[in-house]
Structure formats: C-alpha cells, structure tokens
Amino acid sequence: MKDILEFLQSGNIAWAFVAIIILWATRIDLFKLFDLKRSNKDKDIESLEKVISSNQFDDYYKEVMRKRLSELVFEKHFGIRVDEIKISALMKLHNQYPREATWLILKRAAPYIQLNDNNELAVEITKYHIFGKYFTQVMTFLVAAYALLLFILGIFIQWSNGNGIIQFGALALGVLAVALLVSSNNWPLEAAEKVKSVIEKYDQNQS
C-alpha cells in the first residue's frame, strides 16, 4: 500500500494522463476533420444543384435528386440525417414548440425518433433504454465518487507530507472528465424523453 501511495504521490499517473491528452490534442485536429466533412457536403450539394438545373436529365431523376438535396442541406445545417418526410415533421414540431423542441434537443434525440403509419413523429423508449440510463447514472456516480476520493486523499497527503495535492488534483480532474464522458451517454435518451413529452402535448393540441 505504501508503494502504491508513493507511486501516486510521485505524479507519474497524473503526468501520464496529461501527456496522453496533449498527444491526442496535437495529433488529431478536430477542426480540420469537421472542415473536411463540411467540405465534402458542400461538394455534394453543389453537384446536386447542377444536376437539378441541368437539362440533361428527366424530371423523375431531378425530383429524386431534389429530395436528396433537401436532405443534405438539412443535415448540413442541423446535423440530423433524415428523409424528406421526417424533415417536414420535425419542422412542424419545432415551429410549434421552438423552446422545448430546439434543434439541439432534436439532434440528440434523433436515434429515438421514428415515424408512425400516419407519418407522424413518435419516440420509442424501451425498458432496455431505461436500464441503460440508470446503469450510466450509477457508473457516473461511482466514477465521480472515485474522483472525489482522490482529491480528498491528495488533501490528506498534502497535510501530512507537504505535497500531493497537485498530483492527486490533476488525477481527480482527469477522472471527473471520464465521469462527464460517461454521463454524456444519457444525453440522447434524456433529449428523447423531452421530445416525447412535447409530441404528446402536440398531439393533444391537434385533437
């Protein structure tokens, strides 16, 4: 136990964690990746616009390309990949409840949103999803509790030996980042639950 405490106190784990984060950040330029993805979408949109405005294709083919163009433009601006029918349904819901059904909420809830037989929006949440939600909450609590324990341990070692708070504090922050990452798995389901309540309110107003 003493050897473990000495190893943790030395800061090797904390600095190793910091080094991994720095290497990851310097090797992967997320902004360039997003720009590349956006550039590819722009090229696809431009190509479809040329096809639609051209006289070399029949009306049926142009109509198919027009639908595809609307889907790409919608995905580019709102980050949701859906067909034209679902686009129309999402627009109606957002226009009816712009504060509750924001585009961020709709984007997160998109995997749970389906269309019923009447081409109306419906949110499907199963018992498996609910179990996953509570499991994620428990794991988030355990990881966050572990981070708090590390921080308290750092304070104790700092008080007894005069050092340790920096090493353990850095490690605790890293563990808290993991807890936040774990908790983010519940964001889509939480958004879906909110959208479900909005849809139910929308259906009541329509009836």
- Tell me what pLDDT residue 9 has: 47
Please check the confidence at residue 27 and state whether its pLDDT lies above 70.
no
Please check the confidence at residue 160 and state whether its pLDDT lies above 60.
yes
Helix 127-161 crosses helix 187-206 at what angle (to 10 degrees)? Answer: 140
Distance of alpha carbon 69 from alpha carbon 77, whole angstroms: 12
The mean pLDDT of the chain is 78
- Tell me what pLDDT residue 206 has: 64
121 backbone dihedrals φ, ψ, rounded to 5°:
-70, 140
Cβ-proximal residues to 52 (8 Å cutoff; 6+ apart), any chain? 62, 65, 66, 69
* Mean of pLDDT values over 127-146: 89
Please check the confidence at residue 35 and state whether its pLDDT lies above 70.
no
Where along the chain do its domains lie? Answer: 2-21+82-206
Q: Where are the beta strands (DSSP E) in 39-128?
A: 113-115, 121-123
Cβ-proximal residues to 55 (8 Å cutoff; 6+ apart), any chain? none
Cβ-proximal residues to 119 (8 Å cutoff; 6+ apart), any chain? 85, 89
- Which helix (DSSP H) or strand (DSSP E) does residue 100 occupy? none
Please check the confidence at residue 20 and state whether its pLDDT lies above 60.
no
What is the token pair recorded at 108?
């997160």
What is the token pair recorded at 71?
């889907």
Out of 39-48, 55-64, 163-172, 173-182, which region has the weakest mean confidence (pLDDT)?
163-172
What is the sign of the dihedral through the CA atoms of 32, 39, 84 and 70? positive
Report how far apart, in Å, the C-alpha atoms of 48 and of each of 70, 72, 74 are.
10, 10, 14
Distance of alpha carbon 42 from alpha carbon 48, whole angstroms: 10
Please check the confidence at residue 33 and state whether its pLDDT lies above 70.
no
With cut-offs at 50, 70 and 90, classify the pLDDT of residue 37: low
Q: Which has more confidence, 90 or 170?
A: 90
Q: For the chain, what percent of residues have pLDDT higher than 90?
A: 21
C-beta separation of 199 from 123 below 8 A: yes
Global model pTM greater than 0.95:
no
Please check the confidence at residue 177 and state whether its pLDDT lies above 70.
yes
Q: What is the pLDDT of residues 42-83, one digit of tens each?
A: 788 888 888 888 888 888 888 888 999 898 889 888 889 888
Distance of alpha carbon 68 from alpha carbon 64, whole angstroms: 6
With cut-offs at 50, 70 and 90, classify the pLDDT of residue 17: low
- Tell me what pLDDT residue 171 has: 75
- Tell me what pLDDT residue 39 has: 63
Out of 23-32, 67-76, 130-139, 144-153, which region has the weakest mean confidence (pLDDT)?
23-32
114 backbone dihedrals φ, ψ, rounded to 5°:
-125, 175
